[in-house]
A = this chain, B = another copy of it.
Amino acid sequence: MSGCPYFEKRHLLFKNKPPTAEGEEDASQAGVNKASKGGIIYGEYLQLDKIVSAQVLQSELKGNKIHDEHLFIVTHQAYELWFKQILWELDSVRHIFITGCVRDERNMLKVNNRIHRIVMIFKLLVDQFSVLETMTALDFFDFREYLAPASGFQSLQFRILENKIGVPDNLRVPYNRRHYRDNFKGHESEMLLATEQEPTLLKLVEEWLERTPGLEVDGFNFWERLEINIFDGLNKEKEKIEAMEDSEDKEEMMLELIKQKELFTSLFDEKRHDHLLSKGERRLSFKALQGALMIYFYREEPRFQVPFQLLTSLMDIDTLMTKWRYNHVCMVHRMIGSKAGTGGSSGYHYLRSTVSDRYKVFVDLFNLATFLVPRHWVPKLNPNIHKFLYMAECCDSSYCSSEDSD
Cβ contact within 8 Å between B338 and A327: no
The chain B residue with its CB closest to the CB of A371 is B337
Interface size on A, residues (CB 8 A): 194
Q: List 7 A-B contacts (CB under 8 A).
A: A5-B151, A11-B144, A30-B241, A40-B147, A110-B300, A255-B343, A326-B355
Choose among B64, B66, B260 the residue that contacts A13 (Cβ–Cβ < 8 A). B260
The chain B residue with its CB closest to the CB of A137 is B369
Cβ contact within 8 Å between A240 and B341: no
Cβ contact within 8 Å between A7 and B144: yes
Contacts of A302 in B (CB 8 A): 105-106, 108, 302-303, 306, 392
Given A84-B52, A302-B105, A347-B4, A39 contacting B374 (CB threshold 8 A) = no
Partner-contacting stretch, out of A155-163, A192-200, A203-211, A220-228 = A155-163
Cβ contact within 8 Å between B67 and A406: yes
Cβ contact within 8 Å between A244 and B27: yes
Given A3-B354, A50-B51, A154-B41, A339 contacting B13 (CB threshold 8 A) = no
Cβ contact within 8 Å between B40 and A150: yes
Q: State how many copies of this chain the complex holds.
A: 4
The chain B residue with its CB closest to the CB of A56 is B47
| CB of A8 within 8 Å of the partner chain | yes
| CB of A48 within 8 Å of the partner chain | yes
- Complex Cα–Cα for A69 and B240 (A): 28
Choose among B31, B332, B350 the residue that contacts A244 (Cβ–Cβ < 8 A). B31
The chain B residue with its CB closest to the CB of A259 is B342
Cβ contact within 8 Å between A8 and B336: yes
Interface class of chain A by DSSP: helix
Given A30-B241, A374-B19, A113 contacting B85 (CB threshold 8 A) = no
Cβ contact within 8 Å between B374 and A14: yes
| CB of A131 within 8 Å of the partner chain | yes
| CB of A383 within 8 Å of the partner chain | yes
Cβ contact within 8 Å between A394 and B386: yes
Cβ contact within 8 Å between A84 and B74: yes
Cβ contact within 8 Å between B148 and A39: yes
Cβ contact within 8 Å between B108 and A342: no
Q: In A1-30, which residues have CB < 8 Å from any B CB?
A: 1-20, 22, 25-27, 29-30
Cβ contact within 8 Å between B155 and A1: yes
Contacts of A112 in B (CB 8 A): 305
Choose among B5, B145, B322 the residue that contacts A176 (Cβ–Cβ < 8 A). B5
Contacts of A142 in B (CB 8 A): 375, 403
Cβ contact within 8 Å between A157 and B52: yes
